[in-house]
Structure 1
Amino acid sequence: KMAHAQISKYLPPDVNPTKAAIAYGCRALPKLNEELNSEDLLTRQKALMALCDLMHDPEYVYEAINLGFLESLKSLLKDDDDVVRIKTTEVLYIMATHNVGRNGFLENDIILALSFLMDDPYALCRQNLHQAFKYLAQLPSGARGIVDNGLISPLVLKLQREEEKIQELILDTLASCLQEDATEALSSCAVPFFKQKLLSSNKNIRSKAAQALMAISIPLEGKNQVCRHDVIPILVQLLKDEEEEVQANAAGALMYATVTTEGKYAALDSEAIQPLLKLLFSPLIKVRLNATKALTILAEAPEGRKLLQGHVFNFRNLEMDQNEAVRRAAHIAIKVIEWKP
């Protein structure tokens, strides 16, 4: 049957005047760039509001970078107006959620420009900046950029002073950067700072601190420092945490830190085997996998092997696990536990 021409009783969507520019999408961009550089404060603020909406679309991000927006945004990071700085960092963090944005950051020295706002009086401004760093660090070249700009020590120090929400972002950024290069972190007291965060009452901070320790324990010097600073007994305690994410990352950190003989004996002395065996039954794949690998490493010490010989059936069960990585790890564990010298 024919459709009726009926007038809707609803308002047309989006009649917000500050968002008018959005209607023209890409064609609005050159005009917005002019407005970002305007002498008039309200014009700058409105342009940034409009830009926040547009930057959710990677095509506009690509366009904006080609039109030289990053230079304009860089100078707005130094603006005296706090709303302008907050909105500029917000635009940049939204851009950083896209690959094309992250690459643009690296080509336009945005990392350094952002780093000057780590002491901004407004928490929202700092939060946006750390969110941008977190996304940037997910790209190996982005993590490298943060390391090369000498930001690891300042980020580690900020863990002491920042509010918890921002500490979480910093720990995420550091965990990604340390996988790329842990040298600077190892010479800037990162291990004792992470150790302190393992004791936080905030489960996200405990979990992310364990993740950062996992990354810093990959190089030998990291394994040695984790031993030297007595982190292993705390990691063993965290295997019994009520949060599965914390258990997974604590087991992961132990898996790296116990590769050295000193690390193995520190874990055995802290009675790591019982809580690790319990984790083999975890519903979380990551927990089962990390616990299996950590136990395999402890089984390389004669004392560890002896303690695990009565538990081979646990690993036999895991050889039927739905996850292939867990099955493989269980197979290796059995070989190590049943090895005869």
Structure 2
Amino acid sequence: MAQAPISTHLPPDTKPTKASIAYGHRALPKLNEELRSEDLTTRQKALMALCDLMHDPEYVYQAIDIGCLESLKALLKDINDLVRIKATEVLYIMAIHTMGRDGLLKHDIIRALSFLLNDANPICRENLHKVYKLLALLPSGAQGILNSGLIPSLVWKLQKEQGAIQELILDTLASCLRVDATEALGSRVVPFLKQQLLSGSHSIRAKAACTLMAVSIPWQGKKQVWQYGVIPILVQLLKDDVDEVQANAAGALMFATVTTEGKYAALEAEAISPLLDLLCSPTNKVRLNATKALTMLAEAPEGRRALQSHVHTFRALEKEASEATMRRVAQIAIRVIEGKP
């Protein structure tokens, strides 16, 4: 019986864009060497392989330890689009891990990535904003972005970018502005956010309202929200079909109505009725923020009078709430509404 001959030749390279990975402790050092190669294909293959390896936290630690981050920083300036895209993708995958975020901050990746804010390739820009979003979740990361002087650029990019990138910028700004909103307020962030509140995307509306909450923490932010006429738009968003939009709009009103001007702007925009409607929402965050906003409005004589006939609603909310925070917030609202000026 005839037998099929066994070829002495190696099988064809079915994935020519992927580097072969050395075994054991040589895997990452070999890839790090290839990242610095003058040959374009070698650099591309090494980046492809590194993307796969960085999903494992153990490899992330090793990569940082042997100096891969310095190699990646150099590749961010590569003239080849694919190299820059994959370099930013590797950094994003590393940033998913806690040790990766720590390593990126120690090696000043924030500043290195900032040179790609105007990169012609949208995938490259999206990857860098994914990294910023993850780094900003850490207090040290948010402070690092603030210290790098990037806030004015991010605010400016907010009106230039679209879709997913715009959402990522809003997430980054929301985290950073909770730490310090001063520079953003000087960069006209409030009118830019006002535009995003009118977006056709419910995700953009929700994230813009969330960022406005951060902006409204300092007194100057509260003042600008009132001055730029944002409060009537927030009142309209209380009637949005999406719970997250409602919750964040109520939250932004809660901060903005701390000032007297904010209170009366909200009362003039007839905020009490839609806020009362939100007390029946099945979403705890919506009920909580709406109750806090109504408490702010009850501090004005006109608001207190309008809410006195609805005290029973707050008592029912207090009785039915399963969360201690919700009960406490309802109790405070009742005390303010029933209080004597």
Which category of TM-score, normalised to the shorter sequence, fits these structures?
Answer: over 0.9
Report how far residue 285 of structure 1 moved. 1.0
Find the counterpart in structure 2 of residue 142 from structure 1: 141
Q: Which amino acid aligns with 1:152?
A: I
Any conservation in 2 of the 1:214–1:253 contact (CA below 8 Å)? yes
Provide, for residues 129-162 of structure 1, a one-character-per-residue CA deviation record: whole Å limited to 9, x for no partner. 0000000100011011111111001011111111
Report how far residue 16 of structure 1 moved. 6.0
Alignment of 1:295-314 (within 5 A): 295-314=294-313
Q: Distance in 2 between matches of 1:247 and 1:25?
A: 53
Find the counterpart in structure 2 of residue 339 from structure 1: 339
Q: TM-score, normalised by structure 1?
A: 0.93
Check 1:166–1:26 CA distance in 2 against 1; reply closer, same or farther (3 A cut).
Answer: farther
Query: For 1:114, what is the secondary structure of its paired residue?
Result: helix
Q: Which amino acid aligns with 1:276?
A: L
Report how far residue 32 of structure 1 moved. 0.8
Q: Which amino acid aligns with 1:333?
A: A
Query: For 1:181, what is the secondary structure of its paired residue?
Result: coil
Find the counterpart in structure 1 of residue 323 from structure 2: 323
Alignment of 1:247-266 (within 5 A): 247-266=246-265
Provide, for residues 21-43 of structure 1, a one-character-per-residue CA deviation record: whole Å limited to 9, x for no partner. 56836541111101111111111
Q: Distance in 1 between matches of 2:282 and 2:169?
A: 29
The answer to which of 93-102 and 283-292 deviates more is: 93-102
Any conservation in 2 of the 1:147–1:177 contact (CA below 8 Å)? yes
Query: For 2:115, what is the secondary structure of its paired residue?
Result: helix
Any conservation in 2 of the 1:26–1:63 contact (CA below 8 Å)? no
Any conservation in 2 of the 1:26–1:60 contact (CA below 8 Å)? no
Report how far residue 312 of structure 1 moved. 1.0
Q: Which amino acid aligns with 1:272?
A: A
Q: Which amino acid aligns with 2:177?
A: L
Report how far residue 71 of structure 1 moved. 0.4
Query: For 1:240, what is the secondary structure of its paired residue?
Result: coil
Find the counterpart in structure 1 of residue 9 from structure 2: none
Q: Distance in 2 between matches of 1:313 and 1:26?
A: 69
Unaligned runs of 5+ in 1: 1-14
Alignment of 1:44-193 (within 5 A): 44-193=43-192
Find the counterpart in structure 1 of residue 36 from structure 2: 37
Check 1:161–1:26 CA distance in 2 against 1; reply closer, same or farther (3 A cut).
Answer: farther
Query: For 1:118, what is the secondary structure of its paired residue?
Result: coil
Q: Distance in 1 between matches of 2:136 and 2:144?
A: 8
Alignment of 1:223-302 (within 5 A): 223-302=222-301
Q: Distance in 2 between matches of 1:26 and 1:329?
A: 57
Q: Distance in 2 between matches of 1:217 and 1:231?
A: 11
Report how far residue 306 of structure 1 moved. 0.7
Report how far residue 65 of structure 1 moved. 0.7
Q: TM-score, normalised by structure 2?
A: 0.93
Deviating above 6 A after TM superposition, structure 1's stretches of 4 or more consecutive aligned residues are none
Kindly report the root-mean-square deviation, in angstroms, between the aligned alpha carbons of the 2 structures.
1.4
Q: Which amino acid aligns with 1:219?
A: P
Query: For 2:305, what is the secondary structure of its paired residue?
Result: helix
Q: Distance in 2 between matches of 1:245 and 1:103?
A: 31
Q: What is the identity percentage for the equivalent residue pairs of Structure 1 and Structure 2?
A: 70
Check 1:20–1:161 CA distance in 2 against 1; reply closer, same or farther (3 A cut).
Answer: closer
Check 1:337–1:26 CA distance in 2 against 1; reply closer, same or farther (3 A cut).
Answer: farther
Q: Distance in 1 between matches of 2:113 and 2:47?
A: 16
Q: Distance in 2 between matches of 1:262 and 1:87?
A: 50
Report how far residue 109 of structure 1 moved. 1.2
